[in-house]
Amino acid sequence: MYLYNSLTHKKEEFVPNHPGEVKLYTCGPTVYHFAHIGNLRTYIMEDVLEKYLRYCGYHVKRVMNITDVGHLSSDGDTGEDKMVKGAKREHKSVMEIAQYYTDAFFEDCRKLNIKRPDVVEPATNCIPEYIHMIETILDKGYAYVAGGNVYFDTSKLEKYYVFQDHKEEDLAVGVREGVEEDLNKRNKNDFVLWFTKSKFEDQALKWDSPWGVGYPGWHIECSGISMKHLGEDLDIHCGGIDNAFPHHTNEIAQSEAFLGHKWCNYWFHVLHLNTNSGKMSKSKGEFLTVSLLESKGYDPLVYRLFCLQSHYRKSLVFSYENLDNAKATYQKLLSRIAALQAKPEESVDQEVFQKLQGKFKEALGNDLNTSLAITAVYDTLKYPTNDKTKLAVLHDFDQVLGLDLIEKAEKMRQEQKQIVTGNGNFQVISESGEKNEEIENEILERHAAKQAKNFQEADRIREALRARGIELTDIPGGVKWRRAE
Ligand code: AMP
Ligand code: ZN
């Protein structure tokens, strides 16, 4: 597989440290609010990466942290702890909101078919690991204590800005938001490993440490949790592009200072989901969630498809119009799959199966080109082969795509009501799967009018339904109906 590596700024062949095994680390959510669909774009693309690696036969161990302490309002160590802010907003304890939003996050993931990582570790579980790392980093001379806090000294590194080819506006996110200056820092980019005196007054969770009672900085948690579960070498580290600087830059600085050798080989960054008014952000407070999309009648998997239709290294603009296009595509795909009928006498044509699978692998193996992988789904539907082979191929692809193609198409098939008229088969299909006999009968009457060449009556019925917000589409052998939005 070829992957773009943010560290080398090149597309590279992926070669894991240990043949056949992949150690994968993913920055998890800061659980002070619901995940927005921008965050979830990142998790969807990471899920596709993980599933594709498994599909290729790798044994993958994936670890994710849950940030429940230490992430300040600005990624550059300024402002209030996001968790404390969230707890105040909701008049609850930090641990209560952490649990609530962690559960909400995994519920969103479930709806989007995002697999739960093998290990999910809250940051507050690993305090002894961070203390051990910080002690070693201090002993090795890469950190200093100032004003009671422990800081990483970035001037000790030969190269600090490892992801420097990213655009300035991507890199500067954390820094721009923080206007306060921390006078304890020796260098502008030094960052906090352990807080004691500053930002302390209303910090909810504190632990004893060699430097006094306090709490860890945000960056140390990912290094600590990764090494606890994946050891001293990591194959792929993932996150959204805003994490590249300062978070991942700092993770590399402290991990390699601690280990004394290279830590992670491949860095996978997902570009942002934006709205027309800019980047979607949790801290701005106004954002779109999966539940909101559901309340507007969208299947969460429509959003997954929407994400898969574009490349993870391009920023993506969200609009309801774009989402409606993805919805129409999903419905069309499902109805085409629902129309496939494997006959008992058919068998899977292995040659065709492998040919189609080859196209799919070629797409995803080339830096996870998911939109071409969706094209491979269309190619399969069009391919001159039997339906049993098509269904087997689609089932195979869906292990990575996670669109429930076969299950949803089957459900659609069962929901399609077959009404037999005097002139053969005529299907009335509800696009949403809603059952409504009255509407079905109206449609049937319109069909009868058309059969009798009474087009005036047929049009009258269509108009009457339209006035009630019911839209009809004539399809070969029947009519589809849906409620206008
Ligand atoms: P957070 O919960 O804020 O720590 O972010 C969780 C993940 O979502 C991180 O990997 C972020 O880089 C990523 N992220 C944040 N905002 C966006 C966005 N607008 N689009 C895509 N990913 C994002
Ligand atoms: Zn992280």
* Residue count of the chain: 485
Q: Would the CB of 173 count as within 6 Å of ligand 1?
A: no
Q: Where in the chain is the domain with CATH 1.20.120?
A: 290-413
Beta-ladder partners of 65: 121
Residue indicated by tokens 């997902």:
270
Q: Is 33 helix (H, G, I), strand (E, B) or coil?
A: coil
Going by C-alpha positions, the residue among 270, 328, 344, 381 that lies closest to residue 45 is 270
**Ligand (nearest to CA of 220):** 2
Separation between Cα atoms, residue 274 and residue 286, nearest integer Å? 13
Task: Identify the nearest ligand to the CA of 284 by its number.
Answer: 1
Q: Measure the CA–CA gap between 237 and 228, rounded to whole angstroms.
A: 15
Taking the centre of ligand 1 as the mean of its atom positions, its distance from the CA of residue 35, in whole angstroms, is: 8
Taking the CA of residue 29 as reference, the ligand 1 atom at the shortest distance is 2
Quote the tokens at residue 191: 């960052």
Is the peptide bond between 246 and the residue preceding it cis, with omega within 30 degrees of 0? yes
pLDDT computed for residue 309 by the predictor: 98
Centre of ligand 1 from the C-alpha of residue 194, in Å? 24
Query: What pLDDT does 418 receive?
Result: 55
Any atom of ligand 1 within 6 Å of the Cβ of 73: no
Atom of ligand 1 nearest to the CA of 71: 4
Closest ligand, as measured to the CA of 25: 2
Residues lower than pLDDT 70 in the chain: 70, 74-78, 165-180, 198-202, 282-286, 416-424
**What is the position in ligand 1's atom list of the atom closest to the CA of 67?**
4
| Residue type, position 161, single letter | Y
Q: From ligand 2's centre to the CA of 243, what distance in Å?
A: 7
* Distance from Cα 26 to the centre of ligand 2, integer Å: 7
Q: Where in the chain is the domain with CATH 3.40.50.620?
A: 2-270
Q: Identify each DSSP E strand in 299-448 by its residue range.
A: 316-317, 417-421, 424-430
In the sheet that 417-421 helps form, which strands lie side by side, from edge to edge?
417-421, 424-430, 478-483, 470-475
Nearest Cα residue to 100 out of 87, 85, 114, 82: 87
Token output for 16: 């894991």
Q: How far apart are the first and last CA of the chain?
A: 42
Strand partners, 72: 81
DSSP structure class, residue 456: H
State the Cα–Cα distance between residues 328 and 332, nearest whole angstrom: 6
Are the C-beta atoms of residues 179 and 78 closer than 8 Å to each other?
yes
Among the residues of 148-274, which ranges form H helices? 168-171, 173-177, 218-230, 249-259
Q: Does ligand 1 have an atom closer than 6 angstroms to the CB of 29?
A: yes
Instruction: For 2-270, give the CATH class.
Output: alpha beta
Distance (angstroms) between ligand 2 centre and the Cα of 70 equals 12
Does ligand 1 come within 6 angstroms of the Cβ of 279?
A: yes
Look at residue 414 in the predicted model and tell me its pLDDT: 75
If we measure between CA atoms, which residue out of 224, 248, 209, 193 comes closest to residue 125?
Answer: 224
> Does the beta carbon of 28 lie inside 6 Å of ligand 1?
no
Distance 105 CA to ligand 1 centre (A): 13
Strand order of the sheet with strand 273-275?
278-279, 273-275, 316-317
CA atoms within 13 A on the CB side of 267: 25
Q: Residue 65, by phi and psi: left (phi above 0), alpha (psi -120 to 50) or beta?
A: beta
* 229 close to ligand 1 (CB < 6 Angstrom): no
Residue 207 pairs in a beta bridge with 214
Q: Is the CB of 273 under 6 A from ligand 1?
A: yes
290-413, CATH topology level: Four Helix Bundle (Hemerythrin (Met), subunit A) (1.20.120)
Tokens 């994968």 correspond to: 24
Any ligand 1 atom below 6 A from CB of 39: yes
Q: Is 27 in the pocket of ligand 1 (CB under 6 A)?
A: yes
Distances (CA, A) of 194 to 48, 155, 183, 227, 239: 35, 18, 16, 18, 23
Residue 92: predicted pLDDT: 87
**To which H or E segment does residue 143 belong?**
strand 143-146
